[in-house]
Amino acid sequence: MSVLLVEDDAGIATVITAALEAEGFAVTRCDSVAGRDRLLAGQHFAALITDVVLTDGDGIETLGRVRADHPGMPVIILSAQNTLDTAVRASDTGAFEYFPKPFDLDELVRTVRAAVAAGAAAPEDEGPAESLPLVGRSAPMQAVYRLITRVLRNDLSVLVLGESGTGKELVAQAIHQLGHRREGPFVAVNTAAIPAELIESELFGHEKGAFTGAVARHIGKFEAASGGTLFLDEIGDMPMQAQTRLLRALQSGRILRVGGREEVRVDTRIIAATNKDLGPLIAAGQFREDLYYRLNVVPIPLPPLRERADDIEALARHFLAQAAAEGLPRRQLAADAVALLRRQPWRGNVRELRNLLFRLALLAREELVDAAALAPLLAEAARAEAGEDGAAPDLERAVRGWLADHRPVPGQVYDAALAAFERPLFAAALEQTGGNQLRAAQLLGINRNTLRKRLTQLGLTVEGFARG
């Protein structure tokens, strides 16, 4: 990761360079506007750090041409002119962050990491971001990035708030991957997807014989994430009994496996997320107030996509590049198609946009997609959201009926459900795609090699699904 530092104070430049190089950055230095422009013309940089007062000009006033030539490159501004006017000027340029001198060196390094991650998928990039898919340069997202930088070097509990599909897990991944625990494991748990009777075992583990079906010791997510980060998604759906045990674990740093007698010390950072307003749940006695305050040390609210329309074009390019990297045809959006995307309500937020762009990459007839070609896909998505085909309710009824009829052993529900539903699901995907394994994998959202492996294990062949 290469960073350009424009600073005419040699002492400050040396200190910043040493700190960034210690974190793995390659730093190129210069002390003037002319030197900056010459270096930017011949080399790509992941971020620009610039002083305001330079030997041959004003670092802020001359940023216009930098923005024009490098629209996706994040800029961090340093200044000894610690006035409100300077701060406002820095903000007006769209700077990622502004640091008045003297500044906290560790905070600067954290901010550079976040800036590089944020700029990784800017519009000028040719491919998708490989590290952190946090895409967007809008003002609401810059506020999110600033909050992320403030929790990278500490273990304060974070509560990510936002509607479904806004990317709450991506924020948790960013905090982990950019933070001081990045060498440890990152474990994500959707608490809403675990049956109430199993959630304590999933989180805290269980001992052999703790309950029917517990044939061996099971290490829970807390232990699995020790030394790293545990992401608890949809925390508002956690049962009260599990909330009590979670609070105790947060307070003591110890967990007790189900059926166990000795507590186990864990070193786990907690990041929780919810799409619900926890206030009414607390008032109704459905969520512990003391747990809320333990989790909500640093809240990070995520904006819905409708409030960050300026990011839609960058997000669309990112997802189309991502789709191409996964083997789908390469597509581009015409200006009228981008305008059409910006006018959508995006109730499903970024997840809905991603799914649409992947379908577009698969189904569009031409590489350049205009509004006329995009409109039918938007209409189809709207019909599916309205539930006109009734597919989702039918599937839910089928799953509920299967659970009622088969009554699988607690602790084995997931494996039993997979065994019952995976084969017909794969068969349906092959039938819909005429036996084309690549398109079937894309339809299912899995890797083609994974599909091939599972087809062999399930005894399915593509010959019976191939179209003549």
The pairing of beta strand 229-233 with beta strand 97-100: unpaired
Domain at 143-301, CATH homologous superfamily: P-loop containing nucleotide triphosphate hydrolases (3.40.50.300)
Q: What's the Rg (C-alpha) of the chain?
A: 25
47: pLDDT strictly greater than 80: yes
Kind plus residue range of the DSSP H or E element containing 76? strand 75-79
**Could you give the angle at the alpha carbon of 406 between the alpha carbons of 403 and 411, nearest 5°?**
70
**What's the pLDDT band for 125 if we cut at 50, 70, 90?**
very low
CATH 3.40.50.300 range(s) for the chain read 143-301
- Strands annotated E in 289-430: 298-301, 332-333, 368-369
Q: Looking only at Cα atoms, what is the longest distance across the chain?
A: 79
CATH 3.40.50.2300 range(s) for the chain read 2-119
pLDDT per position as a tens digit, 394-444: 556 566 666 666 666 665 666 667 767 777 888 888 877 877 888 888 788
pLDDT per position as a tens digit, 322-355: 899 888 899 999 999 999 999 999 999 999 999 9
In the numeric block, the tokens 């905090």 are attached to 175
Where b means 16+ CB within 10 Å and e means fewer, 110-130 reads bbbbbbbbbbbbbeebeebbe
Where b means 16+ CB within 10 Å and e means fewer, 342-375 reads eebebebbbebbbebbbbbbbebeeeebebebbe
CATH 1.10.8.60 range(s) for the chain read 306-386
83: pLDDT strictly greater than 80: no
List Cβ neighbours of 398 (8 Å cut-off, separation of 6 or more). none
Fold for domain 306-386?
Helicase, Ruva Protein; domain 3 (1.10.8)
Tokens standing for 221? Answer: 């997510």
- For residues 383 and 30, give the distance between their C-alpha atoms in angstroms, rounded to a whole number: 56
What is the architecture of the domain spanning 391-465? Answer: Orthogonal Bundle (1.10)
- For residues 150 and 111, give the distance between their C-alpha atoms in angstroms, rounded to a whole number: 8
46: pLDDT strictly greater than 70: yes
This prediction's pTM: 0.61
Domain at 2-119, CATH homologous superfamily: Response regulator (3.40.50.2300)
Which sign, positive or negative, has the C-alpha torsion 130, 134, 139, 145? negative
Write down the pLDDT at residue 124: 41
132: pLDDT strictly greater than 60: no
71 SS3 class: coil
